Structure 1
């Protein structure tokens, strides 16, 4: 949520930006980021780094050796690991740093399981390491240093093939050699050296103990001349003191045969990442960007340093584990070529094979990169999930519709809006309260005049089986009368400024402190504040929203925290992109603890990092009521899904500005088919509850929301699968059709799971859309008309304002609940309808998953129903996939709709106890749709239906 100009204090008014677009001058370009500029000035060519093969050390799971920079004689330690699941880890750090460099904690689930390495060949300039099965090898070239990962005769990936490895080592400033680090900070580092040392004395690589770096006459390491921004950097009125000097790192990766790369969210840009030659690199640096621009590599609210490459031959991933400001350059030898040019290359058998080069540049830390070798898209998702975890499994209600604005004014306003949904027969599950609900922006409190009886309000919602979300931001009003502030200060839990005092900045409450969420003790305390006896007025149907957690600092550089602020011994520059993850983690932990570990939490965050998927949902931030923002929501959420964050959505209707009725309707129709479905609006916009745009538009919005509720069983099953396997819920077409080149750049349609294809209408005044239906030999069915279409074609679809083009894949079975009620909780025991879409071979399969929809019992007590539904040889059956579970459900199967089949003469239900009964049925010969009525079997039972 960005600043509202008329609501801010005078000092912050200076920060208000144009209502038309982001003020780019508030945010750095690469040229204005000193380390990015320095790194980019390095040109591809001869690398100064050489591998010292005589320092090689090989254990069962780790290979290490030293690298030397021949320009300054600084040595680095290279470590290589083969990881279980077809992954390779590469770490590069200083061999003897002046003090430890930051290594990102808490993102990996645990130390990855390693596999055996062996050197199979070596000569004076190279060595070959076996990576296990499939004839995978790693070839290390010594001079210049280079790594190639090879499978058979194919080079999969090369590291430092362009010679852009750069590692700015810690050093003492030339003109202040006599100035030492303060005794306080110095002693802290001394006490921590052993803690953060990556190797014990007995594990040092050969030669490490006696390394002598080349020095000049003054005994200092030979350095290149200092460049602007190395030791101090000023942007606008803010100066970064850089007490540790230049510390940036860089490494290049070459991907032969690859033209398409994806990922590294968050950017308001195309799904396929663009070539950055001649423009800024993609930036990863969590920032509060007011009304962001589209098709721009600028940093936004979150940063996931994971890039996915895909070709018809292979899918791979690169996970760059670094939480500092990072820039990513992408270049391709096919960039800029027209499709005709590519075809001409093919016809002429061009000798220039496609290749994409990716260069990562980070301001501090070490090089720690995980190379995920696929080979299939599903394999990469599994590999990444094994490192950072899977999407948290939300309560069912969180997958339903959420109603929000900045702000619902008071308790009466909440009651009126709640009643409005009932009066207009529109279901919803959550109503949200933004910052105005708290007492003077003091989080964990309620405005005493506007929300004097919060429990009464929450109980009223609970009586209707609905819930509420309240915002809790991580900036804390500096106020001696505010309990939260006093406790944080007394426990010394605030981030410190460079001089050791509490860091303070301006945000919504005015002067604010920022808790140090990198401190586990702070996170434990924060979690404790969500207990019902601490958070007065809260109840079990209240959940939490963490906004502004980049962190946003209105009067800070780039509207965020100063990089030389301190989190214990670490600078903010080292941990910046982790801050939002830690806030969401601590909040989710608090919601779990308040229920003594019983209830699943729901927490929405704006800032995020790799691993944030474990803690809840994200949204795409402060968008605008414009058609372009509706369009861009699709690739933005697809990009997040590719890197593990499936629970994504965009503010329906746009946060800024006021949508036309047409735009609002189209946004509801699109949002109903995205994972996180929430309407939200800026405080200065007119009210836009779904019934305020006339009865015709109310009916259209109602229908879109009802379609969402009918499909909740399918969404729930997909999130269960994502939680178990790491596979994305909302996915690009190429994930399921990896050999179909036509799918590689499609971003205006997508798959939900593998069985629903959605092509939202995102153009003003559209009378038709063209959808690509993939899969040669496959069939697709319009879910609204049941009309059958062949795959492997572009289909023109006429549309009206009521149209939401959605197709079910032939060969699938999707479970729905067609009795839509006022909330998902009211539908928990309602019956299911099975939609059976027969494939070209007359068969289909699907799954049904049921649990109690809100607790951890599915995990801890194995209390759930998981069924395999299959149709083959005119027989439909339900088989138990969880034989050890004893969970029961009141839900039953009330109808089965089969499309793409023929008319039977009879339909016989065979129950688990052996009894048989005839079923009533209807057959529409025009659409080839067979409807079986009231099978009446319990959803958890074994049964078979035979058609004759």
Structure 2
């Protein structure tokens, strides 16, 4: 143990000695003689929950973050007691609880320290609110690194930072500004090549300090509620992230069109302006799948209404856009205008669905419509009502997606930019003030929206996007990083935020390409689109205050660059869809920072710019103006330069030159990358073939291709196709084996194989043990050959 001395610290209170304990299956309660109870619950061998109460009893155990469907179970569990400690052992870790002061230490089975209490649990009585400020401090090892916490606009490695979690409408935020829109109180620690995670499931305002105040101490605390955290053991970072993602839940597959390119602005109106924008995309042959309508489509900003001057026949317009391949996505905010002639307001008023102040009246605040009341989405009856409001938008008019904004919740003209703290919430039968409900308000709004859109979209899949979120929101919604700025600093921030969000369980995220506030130069917009097409959610959005931000608002070169990179995204849609399938099934993040990809290499621990897109494509954006290249780091292994096919050996930093219409992209050797033909929108074309880019490797590599009907729920009944490609390269041979499972039949019949880096001249080709003459093999004599999609083995030999 790190500390043995008796402690007095700032007048805080600490647990005293343990006087008894009880066990109930996988849960152990330890009682101190000053009424503290520590409950240790072993959920899995590498997942342990710690709950503390200072009252002598626990309050109702309720969490919006935890996925009720997540799996439990352990292989081994044992409690041992000695004179000084209790020891809880699983098949992965040993947890020591010290009798004298309830301090906790966790070790691996070899006795190596993973995480130890420094001061441990302590608290400060908060008489203003009737609860405790609950605190936890852990000893930090030399050289320890910290990652996670959602959308923080800081360096990827959080060592030396103090951060605040309070969902805030932070317009035009800057680097290191705190707090931001989302609350993900989960971090990953990495020390001695061993990773662990901590999820502090507390919805009050929380803080994390990673060795900022005290050099070798990492601490976290909340302004109320319980000290309730989950410890996750790796030792690989991949295991930590996957376990956390399973714990807080995963989304269902989005429709494939949601992974296409989206165009948005505050605001596109009237109808002829919307059609002018969509027509220009088709004219310039820049692929696009979705067009967004911001608040100006509404009648006086009243949610679920239409401004009939701007949009006289919304159903007809939405249908015409759909004929041209555009899905319509509309914004819905939480503020409901106080207007008794407005049916949504009248209905909520009649049913008492709005949030109330402590002494009874409805919470009133100004947002876009003027004075508004706000639904209490923590009430299941209100969520059910809200879900039903989407019938007209989705079923009748044909809108395909809904965008929830201003749901931190944001309120204008008040100092805190949100509800007063005395506002009361239902909290699913656990009544509380806004201090507790604030951070999950946006998530519960997105949840109610998801339930409505899903109900009325069926049998198609829903698409929802939210600005504010708490851990677990990914079960219902995608997200974006809020009101960023058209600056090079924000391009850097966007790159960091996407990597961090992926590590934090929220994979389906993007930034406003080009920046929401202010006007980007053509070069900045081009560099941002080059990055944005490699983010799971890909949308240009701007405030419109400083001019237009469609690709053609800049010069012809920018239009060409935009087209080139958006086309590349559409080609990579099967690869991206497969990434998403792996995310929803296995909890694997779609973007992987280099430290996640190779935690053994200390060079990766402070890298911010490079990331792995999926499993086999490395992307390194250009983040400075007038750049003709940049220094970058490739992780260990051999990588192909995407543009030149040059093979580069990793494990070192090097200079790579690029043109204005390129950024450094590298493909892992041995990868098989599936590509669709370029479409202007998902579903435009029936394919006769798809391309497999095969990157030769001396050795073995596995790749995957997941496909289904691209929408609907047949995939959950086994109507999908999952192909696993096993590549084995020898000096004069290349063998590719395909194993396919699932009941879905793709429309295309063949693969176009494009060979990269083959070190020999092809002498013979064998399909499923049949030797094919080169003349009959549909082989161009260099790098391209065609093969039936159902092949089991392709064997190429050289001379």
Q: CA deviation at 1:437?
A: 0.6
Query: What does residue 796 of structure 2 align with?
Result: 946
Query: What does residue 537 of structure 2 align with?
Result: 676
- Cα pair distance change 1:947/1:855, threshold 3 Å: farther
Question: Of 287, 290, 293, which residue of structure 1 is paired with 2:168?
Answer: 287
- Cα pair distance change 1:257/1:836, threshold 3 Å: farther
Question: What is the distance in 1 between the residues matched to 2:10 and 2:516?
Answer: 47
SS at match of 2:512: coil
Query: What does residue 752 of structure 2 align with?
Result: 895
- Unmatched tracts of structure 2, length 5 or more: 1-6
Question: What is the distance in 2 between the residues matched to 1:430 and 1:456?
Answer: 17
Question: What is the distance in 2 between the residues matched to 1:913 and 1:570?
Answer: 71
- Cα pair distance change 1:301/1:332, threshold 3 Å: closer
1:602-621 → structure 2 map (5 Å cutoff): 602-621=463-482
Task: State whether residues 259 and 332 of structure 1, in contact with CA within 8 Å, keep that contact through their aligned partners in structure 2.
Answer: no
Query: What does residue 790 of structure 1 align with?
Result: 649
Deviations 1:452-477 (A, max 9, x none): 11111111121123211100111111
Question: Of 128, 133, 154, which residue of structure 2 is paired with 1:269?
Answer: 154
Task: State whether residues 387 and 452 of structure 2, in contact with CA within 8 Å, keep that contact through their aligned partners in structure 1.
Answer: yes
Query: What does residue 864 of structure 1 align with?
Result: 720
Deviations 1:620-639 (A, max 9, x none): 11001100000111111111
- Unmatched tracts of structure 1, length 5 or more: 1-41, 170-229, 232-243, 336-355, 924-929
Deviations 1:28-61 (A, max 9, x none): xxxxxxxxxxxxxx98599853454332112321
Question: Of 41, 54, 72, which residue of structure 2 is paired with 1:113?
Answer: 72
Query: What does residue 94 of structure 1 align with?
Result: 54
Q: CA deviation at 1:909?
A: 5.0
Task: State whether residues 399 and 677 of structure 1, in contact with CA within 8 Å, keep that contact through their aligned partners in structure 2.
Answer: yes
SS at match of 1:921: coil
Q: CA deviation at 1:666?
A: 0.8
Question: Of 777, 784, 787, which residue of structure 2 is paired with 1:932?
Answer: 784
1:350-365 → structure 2 map (5 Å cutoff): 356-365=216-225
Question: What is the distance in 2 between the residues matched to 1:832 and 1:909?
Answer: 20
Q: CA deviation at 1:703?
A: 0.8
- Cα pair distance change 1:166/1:536, threshold 3 Å: same
Question: What is the distance in 2 between the residues matched to 1:905 and 1:665?
Answer: 40
Question: What is the distance in 2 between the residues matched to 1:895 and 1:547?
Answer: 43
**TM-score under structure 1 length normalisation:** 0.79
Greater Cα radius of gyration, structure 1 or 2 = 1
Q: Check if 1:543 corresponds to 2:401.
A: yes
Task: State whether residues 578 and 706 of structure 2, in contact with CA within 8 Å, keep that contact through their aligned partners in structure 1.
Answer: yes
- Cα pair distance change 1:610/1:156, threshold 3 Å: farther
Question: What is the distance in 1 between the residues matched to 2:192 and 2:596?
Answer: 11
SS at match of 1:590: helix
Q: Check if 1:80 corresponds to 2:40.
A: yes
Q: Check if 1:908 corresponds to 2:758.
A: no
Task: State whether residues 48 and 144 of structure 1, in contact with CA within 8 Å, keep that contact through their aligned partners in structure 2.
Answer: no
1:421-432 → structure 2 map (5 Å cutoff): 421-432=281-292
Question: What is the distance in 2 between the residues matched to 1:102 and 1:499?
Answer: 27
- Cα pair distance change 1:299/1:721, threshold 3 Å: same
Q: CA deviation at 1:80?
A: 0.5
SS at match of 2:615: coil
1:438-837 → structure 2 map (5 Å cutoff): 438-532=298-392, 538-539=397-398, 541-568=399-426, 569-596=431-458, 598-775=459-636, 778-817=637-676, 819-827=677-685, 829=687, 831-837=689-695
Question: What is the distance in 1 between the residues matched to 2:29 and 2:651?
Answer: 49
Question: What is the distance in 2 between the residues matched to 1:801 and 1:443?
Answer: 43
Deviations 1:525-563 (A, max 9, x none): 11111124x768521x52100001100111344201111
Question: Of 129, 138, 142, which residue of structure 1 is paired with 2:95?
Answer: 138
Task: State whether residues 51 and 143 of structure 1, in contact with CA within 8 Å, keep that contact through their aligned partners in structure 2.
Answer: yes
Question: What is the distance in 2 between the residues matched to 1:119 and 1:772?
Answer: 46
Question: What is the distance in 2 between the residues matched to 1:409 and 1:56?
Answer: 66
Deviation larger for 486-495 or 391-400: 391-400
1:249-260 → structure 2 map (5 Å cutoff): 249-256=134-141, 258-260=143-145
SS at match of 2:234: coil
Query: What does residue 886 of structure 1 align with?
Result: 743
Task: State whether residues 895 and 931 of structure 1, in contact with CA within 8 Å, keep that contact through their aligned partners in structure 2.
Answer: no
Deviations 1:341-387 (A, max 9, x none): xxxxxxxxxxxxxxx53211111111111000111122112211221
Q: CA deviation at 1:253?
A: 2.1
Q: Check if 1:300 corresponds to 2:300.
A: no
1:245-394 → structure 2 map (5 Å cutoff): 245-256=130-141, 258-276=143-161, 281-296=162-177, 298-331=178-211, 356-394=216-254
Question: What is the distance in 2 between the residues matched to 1:829 and 1:583?
Answer: 39
Q: CA deviation at 1:311?
A: 3.2
Question: What is the distance in 2 between the residues matched to 1:875 and 1:112?
Answer: 41
Question: What is the distance in 2 between the residues matched to 1:106 and 1:631?
Answer: 29
SS at match of 1:248: strand
Report the number of matched residues.
783
Q: CA deviation at 1:413?
A: 0.8
Q: CA deviation at 1:107?
A: 3.2
- Cα pair distance change 1:163/1:154, threshold 3 Å: same
Deviations 1:179-219 (A, max 9, x none): xxxxxxxxxxxxxxxxxxxxxxxxxxxxxxxxxxxxxxxxx
Deviation larger for 897-906 or 717-726: 897-906
- Cα pair distance change 1:579/1:80, threshold 3 Å: same
Q: Check if 1:104 corresponds to 2:63.
A: yes
- Cα pair distance change 1:269/1:255, threshold 3 Å: same
- Cα pair distance change 1:156/1:577, threshold 3 Å: farther
- Cα pair distance change 1:91/1:888, threshold 3 Å: same
Question: What is the distance in 2 between the residues matched to 1:500 and 1:333?
Answer: 42
Task: State whether residues 757 and 806 of structure 1, in contact with CA within 8 Å, keep that contact through their aligned partners in structure 2.
Answer: yes
Query: What does residue 696 of structure 2 align with?
Result: 838
Q: CA deviation at 1:908?
A: 2.8
SS at match of 1:444: coil
Task: State whether residues 47 and 163 of structure 1, in contact with CA within 8 Å, keep that contact through their aligned partners in structure 2.
Answer: no
SS at match of 2:229: strand
Question: What is the distance in 2 between the residues matched to 1:465 and 1:911?
Answer: 40
Q: Which runs of 4+ in 1 moved over 6 A?
A: 332-335, 912-917
1:177-188 → structure 2 map (5 Å cutoff): none
Q: CA deviation at 1:444?
A: 1.2
- Cα pair distance change 1:713/1:849, threshold 3 Å: same
Question: What is the distance in 1 between the residues matched to 2:130 and 2:213?
Answer: 36
Question: What is the distance in 1 between the residues matched to 2:143 and 2:348?
Answer: 51
1:49-64 → structure 2 map (5 Å cutoff): 49-64=14-29
**TM-score under structure 2 length normalisation:** 0.93
SS at match of 2:416: helix
Q: CA deviation at 1:143?
A: 2.4
Question: What is the distance in 1 between the residues matched to 2:701 and 2:60?
Answer: 54
Question: What is the distance in 1 between the residues matched to 2:605 and 2:749?
Answer: 41
Q: CA deviation at 1:887?
A: 1.1
- Cα pair distance change 1:168/1:515, threshold 3 Å: same
Task: State whether residues 377 and 444 of structure 2, in contact with CA within 8 Å, keep that contact through their aligned partners in structure 1.
Answer: yes
